[in-house]
Amino acid sequence: METPYRFELFGERHKPLRASFSCGEGALDQYLKTRARKEMDHRIAVVYVLYDESEGRIAGYYTLSSLSVELPEHMRKGLAKYPAYPATLIGRLAVDQSYQGQGLGKRILLDALGRALAGSRTVASYAVITDAKNEQARDFYSRYGFAPLSTACGGNQLFLPMGTVERLFAKR
């Protein structure tokens, strides 16, 4: 059976669908409705939606962008000493409430990690970083191997080395 879901770059056809998106986290809903397209136009973030073709709805979305990150001393072992290291940021990841509990969060995260890995082969990225919005989000990312980057930000800035991402996809 073919799945009705497809990952697509957020575009014109998705604009009218934004209004009905609701993941239960106001800031994530508002981002998709008001800032996603602008940030793409300014090359601040790239937004991918998980489009439900059978319903004509956005089931979820995520954003990717690049950043530089300072690594704690224990994470720099064996690395050249730089003040900051290149990384890929999953800035936002959300699943519409009507699709929650179906495993789509995992599917969205795996797509984001796959694109981050592919991008790291063209533009270097040492790790994937995310800022978990709350304890539930932190628990979600932790299940996939993300660990706190530091105790700053309440331990909500999470880190997954790109080498770990590469091993994950090598097993698939």
Distance CA 68, CA 32 (A): 24
pLDDT, tens digit (0-9, with 9 covering 90-100), for 81-122: 999 999 999 999 999 999 999 999 999 999 999 999 999 999
Q: Is the pTM of this model over 0.95?
A: no
Find out whether 105 and 93 touch, Cβ atoms under 8 Å: yes
Find out whether 42 and 101 touch, Cβ atoms under 8 Å: no
Catalytic residue numbers read 141
Domain boundaries of the chain, sorted by first residue = 5-170
**Confidence bin at 155 (pLDDT 50/70/90):** confident
Joined tokens for residue 160? 């997954």
Distance CA 28, CA 21 (A): 10
CATH 3.40.630.30 assigned to 5-170? yes
Joined tokens for residue 169? 């996809």
